[in-house]
């Protein structure tokens, strides 16, 4: 399972953190990588973002559902086009808690990641992603 995605400038690739390994996928951005994952499921990144925006009445920081059958939804922590944005797979999150001015997310593989976002922001992003998965599953 993918834990999170981020862009690696040195390797000009998307860094894919999985349960027990790190892979690299050569492309120009995480956005391009996510679009390819969406296309494998018969849609596009733009289409998936528009669907979420419409159903959830959202305008920014829109998660991307890359696979309905796997329930794989990536939540951005940062702006869509910002190459430093970290994209976290909702299914990989075990729990989270405030730490200093940020939030530490604990993953199902035992690792954790400290984000520069306050807990209410992280909570909102996780809860609306969970709600979206529930809505489309009905």
Q: How far is CA 68 from the centre of its chain?
A: 14
Please tell me the predicted confidence (pLDDT) of residue 138. Answer: 56
Strands 13-18 and 22-26: antiparallel
Give the single-character DSSP code of 111.
-
* pLDDT tens digits, one per residue of 16-30: 999 999 999 999 999
Quick: pLDDT tens for 23-74.
Answer: 999 999 999 999 999 999 999 999 999 999 999 999 999 999 999 888 899 9
Task: Work out the angle at residue 6's Cα, subtended by the Cα atoms of residues 104 and 81, and round it to the nearest 5 degrees.
Answer: 110
């Amino acid at each position: 399972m993918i834990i999170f995605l981020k862009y690696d400038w040195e390797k000009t690739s998307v860094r894919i953190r999985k349960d027990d390994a790190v892979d690299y996928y050569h492309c120009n951005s995480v956005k391009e990588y996510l679009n390819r994952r969406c296309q494998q499921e018969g849609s596009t990144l733009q289409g998936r973002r528009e669907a979420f925006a419409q159903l959830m009445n959202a305008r920014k920081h829109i998660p991307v559902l890359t696979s309905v059958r796997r329930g794989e939804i990536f939540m951005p922590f940062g702006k869509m086009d910002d190459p430093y944005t970290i994209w976290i797979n909702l299914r990989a999150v075990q729990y989270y808690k405030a730490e200093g001015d940020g939030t530490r997310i604990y993953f199902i593989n035992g690792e954790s990641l400290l984000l520069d976002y306050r807990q209410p922001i992280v909570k909102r992003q996780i809860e609306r992603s969970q709600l979206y998965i529930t809505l489309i599953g009905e």
